[in-house]
Chain A
Amino acid sequence: MSAAAPVSASPVYTRENLAVLAARVEAAFGERLLGKEEKTQYIQFSVKAADAHDLARFLKEEPALGFTWFVDCCGVDYQRYPKAMPERFAVVTTLFSPALGVKAQVRAFVPAANPRLASLCDLFAGANWTERETFDLYGIVFEGHPDLKRILMPDDFDGHPLRKDYPLRGRGERGAFPVYHAVPLDNAPKEGEG
């Protein structure tokens, strides 16, 4: 029997630590931040694609912060969004710090021409599948990902469905299956006989 793990204390949301978080990140990243917005329960930091990995590593490994709990990673397509955005795509990674009791969000803007971003798989194991899904649905390539392949769509699927220029009803893939329907046998009795 393995030794039982210790029971950790229950994290509690501490609004004051949002200011601590903001101060630390600004001190370390200052000019590289494209934006910093405080929302209910968390702060969203917007950066360019190249800085996302550094920011995530800082959030995780800085002793005073401790954002070690992975929450989510998703993509957003801002094509034709009413507010001007630096790039077409964004990859939004949410992290949680049990020590501070707040969440942090890293929004990395990824250009449409060459959608590449450094993968967070070396920091968080949860990034593996979420980045695969973002690749599958948006076409954003995560460099350094151990196994970047489609996860939700079939492997030979053509296109990235959640992009804004991909139609909701698809391009006919859902009708392209062989048909098994009743066919009269050659030697079936014709009507009126048998």
Chain B
Amino acid sequence: MYSYEHEIEERTENTVRMNVGPSHPAMHGTLRVMMEVQGERIVRAEQEIGFLHTGFEKLGEHRSYNQFITLSDRLNYFSPLNNNIGFAIAAEELVGLEVPRRAQVIRTIMAELSRLADHSLCVGAMAMDLGAFTSILWTFVEREKLYDVFEAVTGTRLTTSYTRVGGVAFDLPDGFEKRVMTILDSMEETVEKLRGSFYKNRIFLDRTEGVGIITPAEIESFGITGPIARSTGKTYDIRKYRPYLVYNELEFDVPVYTQGDTLARYKVRLDEMDQSIRIVRQALRLLEPGPISALDQKHALPDKMSTYTDMESLIHHFKMIMPGPDHGLNPPVTDLYSATESPNGELGFYLVSDGGSNPWRVRVRPPSFINYPIFSKLLEGAMLADVVAILGSFNIIAGELDR
């Protein structure tokens, strides 16, 4: 029923078998592509994944909801805050918890800053894979500035674990707004520099224009979302489809291109960076003082200072953290699928709860996993040099792909 014999029988004449990965120079994680090439043309390609399978979903069944937030950082490690926020929203919808306003605004700001970080790395790495090393140096400078902000707010550069079920863990530090505004200005300049460097560059255009074209029908059939879908004309952005956090109060556009090739995917990401900058500028004005975590102490962790001083808060904290019967989040015995717009597409969490402190099932719907299968189809008939260009434009993150 399932064997590899069919692959060997169909092997055409005069092909050379080539293998890329799982350890390979393109900085896109542990992927493997097995190709049959005739000269420069790829006749057939097959992908193998699973080299980073960590068992997130199994581990999620043995960790509480707040503990899984720590694990969720490691899924899409280019933009960990989006994963934190996505999972926290899923857990809150499961419980039916209302998140206070300030936490919503903070989450929006951090989600968009994280989106900027992800897109800047993807865009830089994509150009680096095509040989232009300078662009990743530029984008990494911007990323380091964002890292400084993340560190000031959450405590670490990369694996932030910033949200909690009910709100966020820490409040914003002083001087946050000024710092972020400076970074946004320099980020805008970098995006302009990237546009100027690449949009008329003959080599870049030759390697990306018309390469790896995806049709809208394939998008729907494969379930592809995110910048890849928006590069083929399919306008689907969950922030506009069903606005969560405070997106319904913010004015922003969703960039859509129609060519469906690698260049369109690149352009969509650069335009989305501009829109993210716009969103953060507006969201900073929405910040008002207030609580950063839900006041429902049965389902959200109480404020840390009151845990140290107030007996009741201490007891609630104890009941939320320690394992035991009737401890923990205790959502209703049901299941729920909830999705947010991560930089790669629709990041969904399907949570099945058994009423206890740990989820019964955590299913991560990773955008990379759903976006990736079309890759081998795109390679058929493409040239060997297109492998890296197309792979770069897909922004496949192995942590999310294999979980």
Q: Residues on A close to B: CB < 8 A?
A: 1-2, 4-13, 37, 39-42, 44, 68-72, 74, 76-77, 81-83, 92, 94, 98, 101, 103, 105, 124-126, 128-130, 133, 137, 141, 147-154, 161-162, 166, 168
Contact B370 A41 (CB under 8 A): no
Asked whether A8 and B216 contact (CB < 8 A) given A39-B336, A71-B365, the answer is yes
User: Closest CB-CB distance, B238 to chain A, in whole Å?
Assistant: 9
Q: Quick check: which of B71-79, B103-111, B252-260, B320-328 contacts chain A, the rest being far away?
A: B252-260
| 18 pairs of residues in contact across A and B, judged by CB atoms under 8 Å | A2-B210, A2-B259, A5-B216, A5-B232, A5-B260, A7-B233, A10-B240, A12-B242, A37-B334, A40-B93, A71-B370, A74-B350, A76-B361, A81-B360, A105-B337, A130-B370, A137-B57, A151-B50
* Chain B residues whose C-beta falls within 8 Å of the C-beta of A39 in the assembled complex: 334, 336-337
* Chain A residues whose C-beta falls within 8 Å of the C-beta of B148 in the assembled complex: none
Q: Does B333 contact A (CB under 8 A)?
A: yes
Q: How far is the CA of A133 from the CA of B373 in the complex (A)?
A: 13
Q: Quick check: which of B18-26, B218-226, B386-394 contacts chain A, the rest being far away?
A: B218-226
* Chain B residues whose C-beta falls within 8 Å of the C-beta of A76 in the assembled complex: 335, 352, 360-361, 363
Q: What is the number of contacts between chain A and chain B, taking CB atoms within 8 Å?
A: 150
* Chain A residues whose C-beta falls within 8 Å of the C-beta of B210 in the assembled complex: 1-2
User: Closest CB-CB distance, B228 to chain A, in whole Å?
Assistant: 13
Q: How far is the CA of A76 from the CA of B57 in the complex (A)?
A: 11
Q: How far is the CA of A94 from the CA of B348 in the complex (A)?
A: 11
The 6 A-B residue pairs with the shortest CB-CB distance, nearest first, are A70-B223, A126-B223, A4-B258, A13-B242, A152-B50, A5-B233
* Chain A residues whose C-beta falls within 8 Å of the C-beta of B62 in the assembled complex: 168
Asked whether A69 and B258 contact (CB < 8 A) given A74-B363, A98-B236, A125-B373, the answer is no
Q: Does B173 contact A (CB under 8 A)?
A: no
Asked whether A68 and B220 contact (CB < 8 A) given A6-B233, A98-B236, the answer is yes
- B44-55 contact mask (Cβ, 8 Å, vs A): 1 or 0: 000001100101
* Chain B residues whose C-beta falls within 8 Å of the C-beta of A124 in the assembled complex: 221-223
Q: Residues on B close to A: CB < 8 A?
A: 1-3, 49-50, 53, 55, 57-59, 61-62, 93, 210, 213, 215-216, 218-224, 232-237, 240-242, 254, 256, 258-260, 333-339, 346, 348, 350, 352, 354-355, 360-361, 363, 365, 369-370, 372-374, 402-403
The one of B3, B215, B221, B241 in contact with A13, judged by C-beta atoms closer than 8 angstroms, is: B241
Q: How far is the CA of A5 from the CA of B217 in the complex (A)?
A: 10
Q: How far is the CA of A128 from the CA of B62 in the complex (A)?
A: 29
* Chain A residues whose C-beta falls within 8 Å of the C-beta of B337 in the assembled complex: 39, 42, 72, 94, 103, 105
Contact A152 B53 (CB under 8 A): yes
Contact A6 B237 (CB under 8 A): no
Q: How far is the CA of A37 from the CA of B335 in the complex (A)?
A: 10
Q: How far is the CA of A149 from the CA of B354 in the complex (A)?
A: 31
Instruction: Beyond A101-B241, A125-B218, list 13 extra A-B contacts (CB 8 Å).
Output: A5-B215, A5-B233, A7-B233, A7-B258, A8-B233, A8-B234, A40-B338, A94-B365, A98-B236, A147-B2, A149-B3, A152-B49, A162-B57
Contact B237 A10 (CB under 8 A): yes
Q: How far is the CA of A71 from the CA of B345 in the complex (A)?
A: 11
* Chain B residues whose C-beta falls within 8 Å of the C-beta of A154 in the assembled complex: 50
* Chain B residues whose C-beta falls within 8 Å of the C-beta of A8 in the assembled complex: 216, 233-235
Q: How far is the CA of A39 from the CA of B228 in the complex (A)?
A: 28
Q: How far is the CA of A69 from the CA of B352 in the complex (A)?
A: 23
Q: How far is the CA of A162 from the CA of B378 in the complex (A)?
A: 32
Of all chain A residues, which has the CB nearest B372?
A129
Q: How far is the CA of A71 from the CA of B241 in the complex (A)?
A: 15
Asked whether A70 and B373 contact (CB < 8 A) given A98-B236, A105-B337, A161-B55, the answer is no
Contact B333 A82 (CB under 8 A): yes
Of all chain A residues, which has the CB nearest B401?
A152
User: Closest CB-CB distance, A105 to chain B, in whole Å?
Assistant: 7
Contact A153 B223 (CB under 8 A): no
Of all chain B residues, which has the CB nearest A41?
B242
* Chain A residues whose C-beta falls within 8 Å of the C-beta of B93 in the assembled complex: 40
* Chain B residues whose C-beta falls within 8 Å of the C-beta of A149 in the assembled complex: 2-3
User: Closest CB-CB distance, B266 to chain A, in whole Å?
Assistant: 16
Q: How far is the CA of A5 from the CA of B240 in the complex (A)?
A: 21
User: Closest CB-CB distance, A165 to chain B, in whole Å?
Assistant: 12
